[in-house]
Structure 1
Amino acid sequence: MMRYGLVIVTAGFTGLLSFSLLAVAIGTDYWYIIDVNRPNQTGSDDLSSHSGLWRIIEGTNRSSVIPTFTANMSSLSEAERHLLDLHKIVVIILPLSLILLVFGWIFGFVSSLTSSSRFLAGSAAYILFCSLFTSAGISVYIKYSNQAMEEFQQVVSAEDLSFVDVSFGWSLYTAWFSYSLEVVTGLLLMLAARITHMKSRYDSGVAIAML
């Protein structure tokens, strides 16, 4: 039982941490970073930017909301509409994954109290299902960012691009870490279900032997 308790407590901790990290990732603006560094030219920092799922921060204090659902689609090119569709998928899937994680944590907690192997296995499967949403959202965001950069490269000269450094920021890596913890939580609940099942079989065997 001590082993079961340790597994359940660890699963509860990793589940809560994965939710917290995903919430932080969704709410912060360091998913994608563009650094512009022109030598011997002042004001390069004003051309740099970093962005999240909801807005873009340009320079030191200028910010703009990404018009995911408010953009005039008729005025956009085919490539721009495709990018906007990818962004819509991201901002729907990741918050949905966050909501699903809340229910997963509740299901896991109730299952741990009942010590039912079936309920624990079901909760584990549900958490692993949630992790698919998270990984899908992150993967689509990476695809969206790469395609946006390809479009950017077509309108900017090679000389200007040499001064531009782009990278994914800590918000995205936080989301990946959250995904990893979701998988760990699901596997721990699977282990708890296995421990409970084995203990039930052992108790049944002992009871039969005593008859």
Structure 2
Amino acid sequence: MRYGLVVLAAGFAGLLTFSLLALAIGTDYWYIIDVNKDNHTGPDDLSSHSGLWRIIEGANRSSVIPSFTANMSSLSETEKQLLGLHKVVVIILPLSLVLLVFGWIFGLVSSLACSPSLLVGSASYFLFCSLFTLTGISIYIKYSNQAMDEFQRVVSPESLANVKVSFGWSFASAWLSYSLEVATGLLLMLAARIIQMKGHYDLGVSVAML
């Protein structure tokens, strides 16, 4: 396998993983609540979708999720716990995005230097970044499940029969970004291995010529 193709694939994957995570963080389709309109007799559309920063209700109503501005003294313990989980998510995922920028630069320098040790370091860095992304996604899943449990506790089973909940394409974009972070790390590991094997081959040829 050619070294140039591997590092090119790693660079493309690294750029794509950044783009997908930025898209996920900036869009509002992490969690979707779809209310069956056929069984809803009220004038308002009760369906909603939410991202990391705001909730879009109906056609044009939106509200910011008050993770850092809410008056904690007026909240129940469950609400405090939910906001706490949400705070962790909105800190970890943007941090992972920033780390990816440095990882891409480090990977580019390592690839141009053709240094196995630098390539391994870059690969380890990307795999480390992927842990941040995975942690953020996992905590968001826990946050969503707890929010849904609380919602089910206060809403009648008859009303819930008309409600369908699902994770949206923003959530899927974050998952894909995580997968590509891992792939980038593995490709950089492969590039380091190719350089090492080439070095051993060149050394063997030189010894044979002697």
Query: Is contact 1:35–1:166 with CA below 8 Å preserved after alignment?
Result: yes
* Map 1:122-141 → 2, pairs under 5 A: 122-141=121-140
1:169 corresponds to which residue? 168
The answer to whether the 8 Å contact 1:19/1:178 transfers is yes
Q: Give the letter for the 2:119 counterpart.
A: L
Superimposed CA distance per residue, residues 91-125 of structure 1 (whole angstroms, 9 cap, x where no aligned partner): 00000000000001000000000000000001000
State the alpha-carbon separation in 1 of the partners of residues 206 and 42 from structure 2. Answer: 79
Q: Indicate conservation of the 8 Å contact 1:37/1:44, yes or no.
A: no
SS in 1 for 2:12: helix
Shift of 1:39: 2.6
**Which runs of 5 or more structure 1 residues have no equivalent in the other structure?**
none
Q: Which amino acid aligns with 1:176?
A: W
Instruction: Say whether residues 1:194 and 2:193 are aligned partners.
Output: yes
**Which structure 2 residues correspond to residues 11-50 of structure 1 after superposition, within 5 A?**
11-39=10-38, 41-43=40-42, 46-50=45-49
Contact 1:116-1:193 within 8 A present in 2 as well: yes
Question: Aligned to 2:139, what secondary structure does the other structure show?
Answer: helix
Deviations along 1:14-57, one digit per CA (max 9) or x if unpaired, are 11001000000000000000011143545576211000000000
Residue in structure 2 matched with residue 74 of structure 1 by the alignment: 73
Distance in 2 of aligned mates of 1:193 and 1:66: 44
Distance 1:97 1:40, change over 3 A: closer
Deviation at 1:207, TM superposition (A): 2.4
C-alpha distance in 2 between matches for 1:106 and 1:66: 33
Instruction: Please tell me whether residue 182 in structure 1 is matched to residue 205 in structure 2.
Output: no
Residues in 2 aligned to 1:61 and 1:95: alpha-carbon distance in whole angstroms: 26
* Structure-2 change in CA distance of 1:156 and 1:41 (3 Å): closer
Q: Which residue of 2 aligns with 1:118?
A: 117
**Aligned with 2:38: secondary structure?**
coil
Deviation for aligned residue 1:4:
0.2
Change (3 A) 1:60 1:202: same
* TM-score, scaled to structure 2: 0.96
Q: Work out the CA distance in 2 between the residues paired with 1:45 and 1:21.
A: 33
In the alignment, residue 153 of structure 1 is paired with which amino acid? Q
SS in 2 for 1:143: helix
* Correspondence for 1:150: 149
* Equivalences, count: 210
Provide closer, same or farther for how the CA distance between residues 124 and 23 of structure 1 changes in structure 2, counting only shifts above 3 A: same
Q: In structure 1, how many angstroms separate the alpha carbons of the residues matched to 2:35 and 2:136?
A: 28
2:108 corresponds to 1:92? no
Counterpart-to-counterpart distance in 1, 2:140 and 2:190: 32
Q: Distance in 1 between matches of 2:79 and 2:100?
A: 32
Inter-CA distance 102–44: structure 2 relative to 1 (3 Å threshold): farther
Letter in 2 for 1:125: S
How far apart are residue 204 of structure 1 and its match? Answer: 2.0
**What corresponds to 1:64 in structure 2?**
63
